[in-house]
Amino acid sequence: MAPPGVHALIEHLVRTPSERGLVKEDPQALFERFGVAGEAREVLLSGTRDALSALGIHGNYVIKWLIWSGRPTMPFFAISHFFDRR
């Protein structure tokens, strides 16, 4: 189960795209608004995909959060990697 406020925060950003910039500009304001605790804040700010998942954050929300925060969600690979294997 995700820490209190985390899923509500991300669900809010899904419904309110105009506020997604706050993830980079003022994440603390979002954390305060949704009551996200200190430990979870640290992981949200700098944690890896696996660290976010370990907190119990839904996988879809992990990817959304990483995209909005400008962090990579997976290592780069050429699209040919997929087609060459078929």
Asked if residue 76 belongs to a domain, the reply is no
Average pLDDT on 49-70 reads 92
Cα dihedral 60→12→41→68 (10° resolution): 60
Asked if residue 86 belongs to a domain, the reply is no
Query: Distance between terminal CA atoms of the chain?
Result: 38
For residue 48, pLDDT beyond 80: yes
Overall number of domains in the chain: 1
Asked if residue 29 belongs to a domain, the reply is yes
Asked if residue 33 belongs to a domain, the reply is yes
What domain range is 60 assigned to?
6-68
Asked if residue 31 belongs to a domain, the reply is yes
For residue 51, pLDDT beyond 80: yes
Asked if residue 55 belongs to a domain, the reply is yes
Question: According to the model, what pLDDT value does residue 64 have?
Answer: 92
Asked if residue 58 belongs to a domain, the reply is yes
User: Residue 55: how many CB atoms within 10 A of its CB?
Assistant: 16
Asked if residue 12 belongs to a domain, the reply is yes
The residue type found at 24 is K
Note the pTM of the prediction, 2 decimals: 0.82
Question: According to the model, what pLDDT value does residue 72 have?
Answer: 73
